[in-house]
Amino acid sequence: MQSLTIRRPDDWHLHLRDGAMLRGVIADTSRHFARAIVMPNLVPPVVTTVDARDYRNRILDALPEGHSFEPLMTLYLTEETNPDDVEEGKRSGLITAVKLYPAGATTNSASGVRNLDKVMPVLERMAKIGLPLCVHGEVTTPEVDIFDREAVFIETVLDPLRRRLPELKVTMEHVTTSDGVDYIRSSAANLAGSITTHHLIINRNAILVGGIRPHYYCLPVAKRESHRLALRAAATSGDPRFFLGTDSAPHVDPAKECACGCAGIYCAPNTMSCLAHVFEQEGALDKLEAFVSLNGPAWYGLPPNETRITLVKRAAPVQFPKKIETGAGSVTVFDPMFPIYWDVE
């Protein structure tokens, strides 16, 4: 039997939602992960440090007995965000990052930023105090093809912003293209990227071949195979600028299985098993710990976790539930479409 013991991982991009959904999904993360950067795209969004403190308390209340888990809170950047409130959030240790959603880019992003000039005072303050900006890197311009939105964002928004404010630390979240990988690799400092589990496994065929499969639809949408291969190379390279952000994003099944389904893949329950499979396929099991447990904390200036988890390779495929039941309704779990033998002990 093969086994691998690594420091307990963290998830640097996670949607936990609220209320019954939060209570239904949190254990799937806290079972394996010690910390997660929690996305603020609730309805209404988490925009002030007071909102973030209240949301953090609701998350801690929802934690199952015996689970120790630290939610790392983010603020949702709007054109009204107050730089003093952001600085106070960082100073008090409550806020780990601020999240930029271009308005309309994805689920619950209507309050996002339309005009970057309006948020420059906040970004300048963040650069000064060393608070990272997490970026959903897609333009929302209707004329830009959805498969090109990340590459166009880098060229027309991200690179100009970083030239204007080189001291700002930017996390390019859920990178889905070789353009994103190349851009991160080419930058000398203050830029890193998170990669999801599912973008290492699926390409756009998963969504569209043999029928339309809403449970593989997320944003940024999966791209063509060459991009998936670039992501796998980056994730398994050991390069400290790349780390895990699952973007596990639960929606109840009726919200996905309908004429206009929501974006989001629920991959929290089997993420570590899927990643062990991917890293083994790439002959890079020795790089898994860097990707899930070391590179992220180093980027965010936090110590790595002291506790460990052990992954074991079973003789027979591990069975994961196809769906979980929450008080809000059922949620379909990401199906990697291959048998998985790796299990967290």
Binding interface with ligand NCD (CB under 6 A): 15, 41, 106-107, 136, 218-219, 247, 249, 263-264
Nearer to Zn ion (CB atom), residue 81 or residue 246: 246
Nearer to ligand NCD (CB atom), residue 32 or residue 251: 251
Q: Tell me: does residue 138 bind Zn ion (CB under 5 A).
A: no
Residue nearest to Zn ion (CB): 247
Nearer to Zn ion (CB atom), residue 135 or residue 309: 135
137 binds, among Zn ion, ligand NCD, none (CB under 5 to 8 A by kind): none
As measured in angstroms, the least distance from the Cβ of 196 to ligand NCD is 8
99 binds, among Zn ion, ligand NCD, none (CB under 5 to 8 A by kind): none
Interface pattern 24-63 for Zn ion (x via CB under 5 A): ----------------------------------------
Which residue type does 243 have? F
Q: Tell me: does residue 150 bind Zn ion (CB under 5 A).
A: no
As measured in angstroms, the least distance from the Cβ of 280 to Zn ion is 26
Nearer to ligand NCD (CB atom), residue 6 or residue 42: 42
Number of residues engaging Zn ion in binding (CB under 5 A):
1
107 binds, among Zn ion, ligand NCD, none (CB under 5 to 8 A by kind): ligand NCD
Q: Which residues, numbered 237-256, are part of the site for Zn ion (CB under 5 A)?
A: 247
263 binds, among ligand NCD, Zn ion, none (CB under 5 to 8 A by kind): ligand NCD
As measured in angstroms, the least distance from the Cβ of 174 to Zn ion is 6
Phi-psi group of 18: left, alpha or beta (phi > 0 → left; psi -120 to 50 → alpha; rest → beta): beta
Q: What is the dihedral of CA 227, 288, 324, 266, to 10 degrees?
A: -30
As measured in angstroms, the least distance from the Cβ of 323 to ligand NCD is 17
As measured in angstroms, the least distance from the Cβ of 264 to ligand NCD is 3
Query: What pairing do the DSSP bridges indicate for beta strands 70-76 and 35-38?
Result: parallel
Nearer to ligand NCD (CB atom), residue 152 or residue 294: 152
- Cα(190)–Cα(316) distance, integer angstroms: 43
Nearer to ligand NCD (CB atom), residue 7 or residue 251: 251
Distances (CA, A) of 317 to 130, 266, 273, 277, 285: 45, 20, 11, 11, 19
136 binds, among Zn ion, ligand NCD, none (CB under 5 to 8 A by kind): ligand NCD
Half-sphere exposure of 32 (CA within 13 A, CB side): 24
Of 247, 253, 286, 343, the catalytic one is 247
Closest CA to 267 of 208, 206, 196: 196
* 247 assigned to active site: yes
Nearer to ligand NCD (CB atom), residue 25 or residue 292: 25
As measured in angstroms, the least distance from the Cβ of 217 to ligand NCD is 7
As measured in angstroms, the least distance from the Cβ of 332 to ligand NCD is 13
Contact residues for Zn ion (CB under 5 A)? 247
Catalytic residue ranges? 247
